[in-house]
Structures are given as C-alpha cells and as structure tokens.
Amino acid sequence: METLGNGLLIVGAGHAGSELAVAARQGGWAGRIVLLGDECVVPYQRPPLSKAYLLGKADVEALALRPATAYQAARVELLQGARLVAIDRTARTVTLADGATLRYDKLALCTGGRPRPFVCEGIDAQHPPTNLFYLRTLADADGIRASLSPDAHVVVVGGGYVGLEVAASARGLGARVTVVEAQARVLARVAGTEVSRFYESVHREAGVEILTGTGVERVTCEDGRIVAVHCSNGQRVPADLVVAGIGMLPNIEAAVAAGLAGEGGIPVDELARTADPDIVAAGDNTLQHHVLYNRELRLESVPNALEQARAAASWLCGKPKPNHSVPWFWSDQYDLKLQMAGLSQGHDRCVLRGDPASRSFCAFYLQGNRLLAIDAINRPGDFMLTRRALAQSVVVDVEQLTDETVPLKELLVISAASTTGKP
Ligand SMILES: Cc1cc2nc3c(=O)[nH]c(=O)nc-3n(C[C@H](O)[C@H](O)[C@H](O)COP(=O)(O)OP(=O)(O)OC[C@H]3O[C@@H](n4cnc5c(N)ncnc54)[C@H](O)[C@@H]3O)c2cc1C
C-alpha cells in the first residue's frame, strides 16, 4: 500500500480536479498532492468537444486545461489511467481498479459524470451499435469526428445544449442533421420559451430538421449499425450516425457505497465538504446546498466546478472561502454566444430586451419585479452587469427593462431585501 505523507488525493482529473490540485498548492498545502484520473490524457476542457474541436478548429493541445509543466511546477503528481473503485473511510484508503491501494489524509472526489444511456427498442445494450455515439470525453469526440462527413445524415437525440451544439457543428461541416426532442421545445429544462423558439428557428434556418414533442420509438440496425430512427410521429429518419445527448449521470458509485451519497449526487456544503471531515467533493458529481437559493442543486457547468474546487482548496488549506457564486453557463452555436446566469425556476414572466431577429438580445426572468435570471445572446456586456447584480436581490422596473434607451446599469437596483443575502 502506498501512503501519501500528509497527502491530498484528488480523484477525477477534469475541470474540478485539476483546479483543486493547483489551488490547494497555491493555497499553501505543503504535503503531497496526487491527481488521479481514469483518462490517459493531460486534463482537458470539455466545452470545445462539441464546438471548436468537433469543427476541427482546435487540436488536442489547445484543449489542455493547463500545460503538463504547470502540474510539475505545482508539485502535483498526475496518475493517469487509474480508476477508483472503492473508498474505505475508516482506514482512509482507496482501492483502484488494478487492485492497488492508496492511503490518504484528505480525499477529494471530482469524478464528474457520464452520459445517460440511450435505451430503446432495437438497441442491444450488451452490443451497442457502432455508430451510436455519446459526447463526454475526447475519445467520444474523436469517434464522432471520424464519422462526420458532409454527406452523412446525423440524428441527434436530445435538444439540450450538447445536442444542439453537436447539431450546429455537424451542420457547419455540411452534414444533414435531424434533432429529435421529446419535450415540446428544445432547451426546455434550462431556458424559457422565447429562447427555445429562437434557437429552434436559428437551427431551422441553418438547415437542421428539428422535431419537438417527438420521441424515438425504435431504431433499425443492419450489421451492427443504426440505419434508421423511427419517431413517435411516425417519421422514419435515415441515419449514418446517431448522437445521444439526453443528460448525464453523476459518477458516484464509490461514494454511494461508502455512505457519502444518495442517487442525486454527493451532498456538499458551501465549502465543498461532504459528511466526512476528511473528504471534499466538487463538480458535476455533487449535490450542493447553495446559500443563495437555500436549497440543494446539482449544477453541470465549468464555472461551478471551478468555484467548488477553489472553495474546497480554501478549506483544506485552512483559509475557508465559501462558494456563494451565482450559477452561470454558456453555449456556443453558429455565430451565437449564449450566456446565462441565475436560476429561472419559479419565474412568472420573461421579458426581452432587444430584438431576437437581430441575433443580439436578452431574456430576463422575473418573479414579480424581482430579477431571477438572464439569458444573454451575443450581449456579453449585459450579461456581466446582470450576473454581478444577481448576487444580490435585484428589483427592476419591468417596462423600462424592455426599453433599450434606458441603460441597463441604471435599472439593476439592489433592493433592501438584499441585506438578507438571498435573491
Ligand atoms: C460536450 C460538452 C460540452 C460542454 N459545454 C459546456 C459549456 O459550454 N459551458 C459549461 O459551463 N459547461 C459545459 N459542459 C459541462 C462541463 O464540461 C462540466 O460541467 C465539467 O466538465 C464538470 O467538471 P468535473 O470536473 O465535475 O467533471 P469532468 O470534467 O467530467 O471530470 C471528471 C473526471 O473524472 C474522471 N473519473 C470519473 N470516475 C472516475 C474514477 N472512478 N476514477 C478515476 N477517475 C474518474 C473522468 O474520467 C473525468 O476525467 C460541457 C460538457 C460536455 C460533455
């Protein structure tokens, strides 16, 4: 058994793990830091996988979160191709898939998630079709890229961010694209109706066939490949490849077995602490109690992974800085940069500032006159102003919000209620 002297063992070398390792060293962690991950590449950014990388506009080197030398400089030991399978909290050890055991002083679980499997009639889960793809890893993106040609017909199952970004990139490469979405509109889980309709029209103008309110009933396979997707509206869509983007499952099996997590993720507080004082967790695998909203949230975004990782590092280094950041996210499709901040759940109206036809506008989500969230399309300035304001409780004059002659910063008035710290 290997013992890490005063060692911090970080499991999962993605956005959260890489950030935590470097932040812990910068924060003064004096002992060993081992960053262990089951992939065999230097920790890389996932967002470009559905965007620049799929389009061939970024190579593997450009994806690296930081150069390999940055880990050496921070004395972070990278252990690649190593998979955690079990945690013994009493002995403070972890077991790896190859049987090796490591003893830790502090453990950080940053294992992210994996794509939700696409199950339907015609798909043999034991022998999945060779042209059925998911998109989470570099290897997944390479598989899609190798199958994407201008004459290919791509069927994307799921009209969420990943699905729509793949659709935009595939169109950019000249492929024929059909998106099949079971909900009544694309982005139904994350955006308001106006923004969904805007994205549907943008994709249709770009030549993507968007089928909403339509499920996949079955697929037809020949020689281990899907050749057609049969939809609930009776349509048979021929397919050269199928990309399923139907959500994510957190990688929490070892944490569940160790009594640290239930189904939805590993519960953590604002310092990314789990129920075990020696274990923190950060990123897509966590269910965090968010002080701004006073409830449990599982957020799947790079900014969240980074903020939680920094909070975890601050606590491990004895200089606690809780994470109270406003959730935010971005998505790039065609020439459109969508940036969203806040949580729109519970809004009773959505107002637009700017004209969607100009491809530059904001959707503001409100409860009464209290601002909850923003979706900004090609409006980085408005996004930044609003994101900052959302950290407080903001009340707005809704009529003026739609009037572009009134500067936004004059409208974002912090209400007296903000002293409670709750929006
Ligand atoms: C295609 C795509 C596009 C995206 N676009 C955006 C975007 O535009 N904006 C945005 O904010 N977010 C985006 N996201 C989401 C963002 O990438 C995630 O929220 C972020 O990667 C979460 O970081 P993480 O460290 O929690 O998980 P990950 O980055 O997934 O890292 C987890 C790592 O842990 C490893 N691991 C898992 N289990 C084990 C184990 N048992 N042992 C060892 N290692 C293990 C995994 O292999 C992985 O390397 C996108 C995601 C995808 C897939």
What are the CA-CA distances from residue 400 to residues 353, 366, 413 (Å)? 9, 14, 12
Residue nearest to atom 41 of ligand 1 (CA): 84
Q: Which atom of ligand 1 is nearest to the CA of 286?
A: 26
Q: How many angstroms does the Cα of residue 302 sit away from the middle of ligand 1?
A: 8
Same domain, residue pair 151 and 229: yes
> How many domains is the chain partitioned into structurally?
3
In this prediction, residue 419 carries a pLDDT of: 39
Domain finish residue from 223, 246, 269: 246
Domain finish residue from 246, 264, 288: 246
Domain membership flag for residue 258:
yes
Same domain, residue pair 398 and 307: no
Domain membership flag for residue 148:
yes
Domain membership flag for residue 126:
no
CB 93 within 8 A of CB 11: no
Same domain, residue pair 228 and 260: no
| Ligand 1 pocket, CB under 6 A | 11-17, 36-39, 46-47, 49-50, 83-84, 110-112, 135-136, 162, 251, 283-284, 300-303, 305, 329-331
Q: Which atom of ligand 1 is nearest to the CA of 96?
A: 42
Pocket test for ligand 1, best of 46, 298, 310, 328 (most atoms within 8 A of CB): 46
Residue nearest to atom 39 of ligand 1 (CA): 111
Counting Cα atoms < 13 Å in the Cβ hemisphere of 362 gives 25
Residue nearest to atom 5 of ligand 1 (CA): 47
Domain finish residue from 246, 271, 290: 246
Residue (of 117, 217, 133) closest to 169 by Cα position: 133
Same domain, residue pair 100 and 164: no
- Kindly report the CATH number assigned to the domain that includes residue 269: 3.50.50.60
Domain membership flag for residue 119:
no
Q: Pairing between strand 349-353 and 361-367? A: antiparallel
In this prediction, residue 412 carries a pLDDT of: 85
Same domain, residue pair 254 and 242: no
Domain membership flag for residue 326:
no
Pocket test for ligand 1, best of 102, 111, 137, 165 (most atoms within 8 A of CB): 111
Q: How many angstroms does the Cα of residue 220 sit away from the middle of ligand 1?
A: 31
CB 279 within 8 A of CB 109: yes
Residue nearest to atom 23 of ligand 1 (CA): 15
Q: Kindly state the DSSP code that residue 219 receives in the 8-state scheme.
A: E
- How far is the first Cα of the chain from the last one, in angstroms, to the nearest whole number? 49
CB 368 within 8 A of CB 348: yes
Domain membership flag for residue 60:
yes
CB 194 within 8 A of CB 352: yes
Q: Enter the pTM of the model.
A: 0.95
Residues β-bridged to residue 94: 87, 102
Neighbours of 147 (CB within 10 A): 16
Same domain, residue pair 230 and 265: no
Same domain, residue pair 253 and 242: no
Domain membership flag for residue 160:
yes
In tens digits, what is the pLDDT along the chain, a chain of 423 residues? Answer: 666 666 999 999 999 999 999 999 999 999 999 999 999 999 999 999 999 999 999 999 999 999 999 999 999 999 999 999 999 999 999 999 999 999 999 999 999 999 999 999 999 999 999 999 999 999 999 999 999 999 999 999 999 999 999 999 999 999 999 999 999 999 999 999 999 999 999 999 999 999 999 999 999 999 999 999 999 999 999 999 999 999 999 999 999 999 999 989 999 999 999 999 999 999 999 999 999 899 999 999 999 999 999 999 999 999 999 999 999 999 999 999 999 999 998 899 999 999 999 999 999 999 999 999 999 999 999 999 999 999 988 899 998 999 999 999 888 876 544 433 444
CB 10 within 8 A of CB 22: no
Helices (H), 74-211: 138-147, 161-172, 193-205
Residue nearest to atom 19 of ligand 1 (CA): 301
In this prediction, residue 78 carries a pLDDT of: 97
Q: Which atom of ligand 1 is nearest to the CA of 115?
A: 53
Same domain, residue pair 233 and 270: no
Residue (of 396, 388, 395, 390) closest to 353 by Cα position: 396
Enclosing domain of residue 405: 335-420
CA distance 138 to 146: 12
**Centroid of chain to Cα 101:** 31
In this prediction, residue 409 carries a pLDDT of: 87
Same domain, residue pair 159 and 239: yes
Same domain, residue pair 215 and 258: no
Same domain, residue pair 42 and 87: yes
CB 309 within 8 A of CB 110: yes
Same domain, residue pair 158 and 222: yes
Residue (of 405, 402, 313) closest to 361 by Cα position: 402
Domain membership flag for residue 330:
no
In this prediction, residue 418 carries a pLDDT of: 43
Residue (of 398, 399, 404) closest to 360 by Cα position: 404
- Kindly report the CATH number assigned to the domain that includes residue 368: 3.30.390.30
